[in-house]
Structure 1
Amino acid sequence: MAKTKVFMSFDYDHDEDLKTLLIGQSKNDDSPFSLADWSIKEHIDENWKAHARRRILAVDVVCVICGKHTDTATGVSAEVKIAQEEGVSYFMLAGRSEGGNVMPRAARNTDKLYKWTWANLKSLIGGSR
């Protein structure tokens, strides 16, 4: 069975360590997903948005890793907005086990912040197909 392609959105300035953790999990033998691309650290303009849109349209689901400053990460909000506009499934993952995780400003009131466990991750990604 083909693995689910995941776009990873995260706050480059504060949560790059969380990106590394998710990359590690994607390499597990029983991982149901592969990371196609992740957030782009460039000035946010129309070219950036077009590039992000192409990447997001090429995946099955967007995983938004939420840390303590995600609400101020304009790139993460832009990526979530693109996923919403294009109808691409996405979910919010609580990145810091000690708490204090916040969702991006573009999150909808109905969006839920899920605890980062291997079981949750496999379920959220598996349910996106």
Structure 2
Amino acid sequence: MAEPRAFISFDVDHNRDHKLLFAGQAWHSKTPFSHEDWSAKAPMLQSEWEALVRAKINMTHFMIVLVGRHMATATGVDKEIAMAKALNVPIFGVYVDGATSISTLPSGLARNRVITWTWDGIATAVTQMTSEGKNKS
């Protein structure tokens, strides 16, 4: 497989800065994945947003969910996880913003699929994702 592509899901209301930091560091780390900034740039109808996000998720090999302290209110993240599951796109999460193993998780993300933010840990999770879901050989 060429370098796998990730969709990064995050709480746009609370973790935009964490997403920018994560994405920026990912470009300069030795993690084996690429990503695009596919955030919506302008407000749009819910149905348009859902169609756009579903198409973008479908073009990726896995999803990384940035799990912050306010996930209980991140309904967009819940929808993105549901879309990834429907498309058989594997998912893992990374704690950001002081979130820990006792923080609320978004719907559909299992606690054992969320890791601490270390690039070695993320590289290991990426390798695992490349053999799951739609990536299975």
Flag the 1:45–1:14 CA change in 2: closer, same or farther, 3 A: same
More displaced 10-residue stretch of structure 1: 32-41 or 84-93? 32-41
Flag the 1:35–1:69 CA change in 2: closer, same or farther, 3 A: same
Residue in structure 1 matched with residue 54 of structure 2 by the alignment: 53
Cα distance in 1 for residues equivalent to 2:53 and 2:110: 23
For 1:92, what is the secondary structure of its paired residue?
strand
Give a deviation string over 1:61-90, Cα, whole Å, max 9, x none.
100001011121111111001011111111
More displaced 10-residue stretch of structure 1: 57-66 or 37-46? 37-46
1:71 and 2:72 correspond: yes
Flag the 1:74–1:44 CA change in 2: closer, same or farther, 3 A: farther
Cα distance in 2 for residues equivalent to 1:82 and 1:98: 24
Higher helix share: 2
- What is the letter of the counterpart of residue 104 of structure 2? V
Aligned residues: 128
1:6 and 2:10 correspond: no
Residue in structure 2 matched with residue 102 of structure 1 by the alignment: 104
More displaced 10-residue stretch of structure 1: 118-127 or 55-64? 118-127
More displaced 10-residue stretch of structure 1: 119-128 or 21-30? 21-30
Residue in structure 1 matched with residue 34 of structure 2 by the alignment: 34
Higher strand share: 1
Residue in structure 1 matched with residue 23 of structure 2 by the alignment: 23
Flag the 1:128–1:108 CA change in 2: closer, same or farther, 3 A: closer
TM-score by length of 2: 0.80
- What is the letter of the counterpart of residue 88 of structure 1? V
More displaced 10-residue stretch of structure 1: 36-45 or 51-60? 36-45
Q: Shift in Å at residue 54 of structure 1?
A: 0.2
Q: Shift in Å at residue 101 of structure 1?
A: 3.9
Cα distance in 1 for residues equivalent to 2:29 and 2:117: 18
Flag the 1:123–1:91 CA change in 2: closer, same or farther, 3 A: same
Cα distance in 1 for residues equivalent to 2:120 and 2:127: 10
Instruction: Identify unmatched segments of 5+ residues in structure 2.
Output: 131-137
Q: Is the 8 A contact 1:62 1:91 kept in 2?
A: yes
